[in-house]
Structures are given as C-alpha cells and as structure tokens.
Amino acid sequence: MDCRILLCNTYHLGHRPGHERVKAAGGLHKMMNWNRSILTDSGGFQMVSLSKLMTVDENGVNFESPHTAEMMALPPEKSIEIQQALGADIMMQLDHVIHVLTTGDIVKEAMHRSIRWLDRCVQAHTRDDQAMFPILQGGLDLELRKECAEEMAKRAKVGIAIGGLSGGEEKDHFWKVVAACCAALPPHLPRYVMGVGFPVDLVICSLLGADMFDCVYPTRTARFGTAMVRRGGLMQLNQKRYKEDFLPIDEKCQCNTCRTYTRAYIHSVIGKVCAV
Ligand SMILES: [Zn+2]
C-alpha cells in the first residue's frame, strides 16, 4: 500500500515486549527496520476499551490490567515516557476520552482536563526529535470544541488531532464537529481526525479541512475477506462464487496483491493466514 506513516499501539507495546525493551533495541524504527514515519497513540484508549474497571481522576487514567488484574495508573507523564522510549515521530497527548454520546457537565470537565493534561505532557516531553499532537475534546458541543481548539492551538507546535468522535454518533453531528474544529484551527497545523476510515468520511472530512486519519477499517475489512475496489465498492471474497475465480481482485490494478494472487487463492486462505 506504500503507506508513509504507521500507527503503533502504545498500550500493547508497553505491555509486550515492553517499552524499555523497545528502547534497548534502538526504538520502534530499528526494531521493525521501518524507515518511514511512526505515530503512537497515548495508550489511554486501549485502557478504556480493554479494561473492565476504569476510572479517571486528575492524576490520570486508572485501570485494572486485563493481564494481571492489578490496578495500574497511567498519568500523562507516563504516557509520554513510554512514547519517548518507543521513539515515534509523532506522539499523542493523553486525553480524557468520554463516549461521544455522553451529555452533561462531564463533557466540559473532560475537555478542560484534557487541556490540563496537555500542559503536563508538554512538561514531560523532552526529546526534540519527536512531535506531540494535542487532542481536541468537547463531545458534540460546538462551543466547547471551539474553546478547546483555541486553547490547544496555542500549545500545538507541529499538528493537532480531533478526538472523541466516530463512536456511533449521527453523521450529521460528526461532520459538524469536524467542520467547527477545522474552522477554529490555524491553517498551518495539519489536522488529524482520529478513528475515521470509512471512504465517504475521508472524502467529506478532507473537504472540511482535515489532513490525516486512522482507522482499523481497511485492515479489519481485509481480514474478514472483503476487498475495497475501484468500481463496485466492496468485494466479498469469502463468497462461494470466488472459489474458482482465477482472476486478480482488480485486473487493471498494478499493486502487489493484484499482481500476485487470484480471487480463488484469497478465498481459500481467508481466516487461515491471520488470527481474527
Ligand atoms: Zn490492487
């Protein structure tokens, strides 16, 4: 896919092989022999999604380890320490993530706390060869988003992320928040909309002024046997009709997959080559 930037997962790498070990190996780039860019997340999101027990207080995110059941804390400083050891080109601040459909005072509190945590991340950030992106919060409230964008833009040096979206909100609300954030941000900072990957969202958000996206959608979709094709949208290669179809996914495509594998071959290995 000739991708230029790879997202690596701080939580999983911090657990195994462990950020100290990655650091000893010379950082993620050396460990993987990957000489293009790497972005790491803050680790907070996995704690929220993987942990049964999770609380947030001013100090940071507290969670029960899914591996040992012991209670652990991730303050903003620790997130930056791990990401600096991993050596990503772009690190993300630890933010207070709430579900996008949450309403009430907590939305405002989480937004203000994310700004305070950003200041702590800035303090903890000591390597000048790594960039750090703030993450805008504020739920679906356009005024809170604007306030957050103005505060965080003052602290952002290289780029800025729009977080807390893509969690089941209506498209209309989602696009309005992206539009409001992009309008409130200075033009020189690249805007990264987190967790977004459906083709239509990429097109609309690009038109609204967004520059970067990340999503499990392409890899998860492929893993479940669906190819995204130029014409016709999605091709479900697990369907029986591809069992003896010896054409490539796209006859005109010059990519490695299309030049190497037939639909029948892919049909035969779905679910076998990768653990789901
Ligand atoms: Zn192709």
Task: Record the tokens describing residue 165, joined without a space.
Answer: 């979206």
Whether residue 17 is preceded by a cis peptide bond, meaning omega within 30 degrees of 0, is: yes
Q: Is the pLDDT of residue 145 over 90?
A: yes
Of residues 112 and 49, the one with the higher pLDDT is 112
**Amino acid code (one letter) for 128:** D
Binning the chain into helix, strand and coil, the percentages to the nearest 5 are 40, 15, 40
Say what the pLDDT of residue 11 is: 86
Question: 160-162 and 226-229 as β-strands: parallel, antiparallel, unpaired?
Answer: unpaired
The answer to whether 71 and 111 have CB atoms below 8 angstroms apart is no
Would you place residue 275 in the very low, low, confident or very high pLDDT band (cuts 50, 70, 90)? Answer: very low
Q: Is the pLDDT of residue 37 over 80?
A: yes
Task: Record the tokens describing residue 273, joined without a space.
Answer: 């080559």
Say what the pLDDT of residue 219 is: 84
Say what the pLDDT of residue 70 is: 82
Active site residues: 41, 214
The whole-number average pLDDT for the span 183-198 is 95
Q: CA-to-CA distance for 146 and 161, rounded, in angstroms?
A: 13
Q: Is the pLDDT of residue 150 over 50?
A: yes
Say what the pLDDT of residue 218 is: 83
For tokens 């990503």, the residue is 88
DSSP state of 242: G
The answer to whether 131 and 67 have CB atoms below 8 angstroms apart is no
The whole-number average pLDDT for the span 241-252 is 95
Task: Record the tokens describing residue 36, joined without a space.
Answer: 């293009």
Whole-number Å distance, alpha carbon 232 to ligand 1 midpoint, is 14
Question: Taken in order 214, 219, 220, 222, is the CA torsion positive or negative?
Answer: positive
Would you place residue 146 in the very low, low, confident or very high pLDDT band (cuts 50, 70, 90)? Answer: very high
Longest dimension (CA), the chain: 59
Q: Is the pLDDT of residue 276 over 50?
A: no
DSSP state of 139: T
Give φ, ψ of 252 to 5 degrees: -95, -5
Q: Is the pLDDT of residue 59 over 60?
A: yes
Give φ, ψ of 179 to 5 degrees: -60, -45
Whole-number Å distance, alpha carbon 24 to ligand 1 midpoint, is 38
Whole-number Å distance, alpha carbon 251 to ligand 1 midpoint, is 8
Give φ, ψ of 59 to 5 degrees: -70, -35
Find residue 160's DSSP bridge partners: 191
Length of the chain: 276
**In the chain, what are the domains?**
5-215 (3.20.20.105), 227-269 (no CATH)
Would you place residue 67 in the very low, low, confident or very high pLDDT band (cuts 50, 70, 90)? Answer: confident
Whole-number Å distance, alpha carbon 257 to ligand 1 midpoint, is 6
Would you place residue 171 in the very low, low, confident or very high pLDDT band (cuts 50, 70, 90)? Answer: very high
Q: Per residue in 216-237, pLDDT tens?
A: 888 888 888 999 888 778 999 9
**Mean pLDDT, the chain, whole residue set:** 92
The answer for 155, left when phi > 0, alpha when psi is -120 to 50, beta otherwise, is: alpha
Residues 6+ apart with CB under 8 A from 152: 115, 118, 134, 135, 136, 160
Of residues 11 and 149, the one with the higher pLDDT is 149
The whole-number average pLDDT for the span 171-175 is 95
111 to each of 7, 64, 94, how far by Cα in Å? 24, 24, 12
Q: CA-to-CA distance for 103 and 47, rounded, in angstroms?
A: 22
Whole-number Å distance, alpha carbon 2 to ligand 1 midpoint, is 12
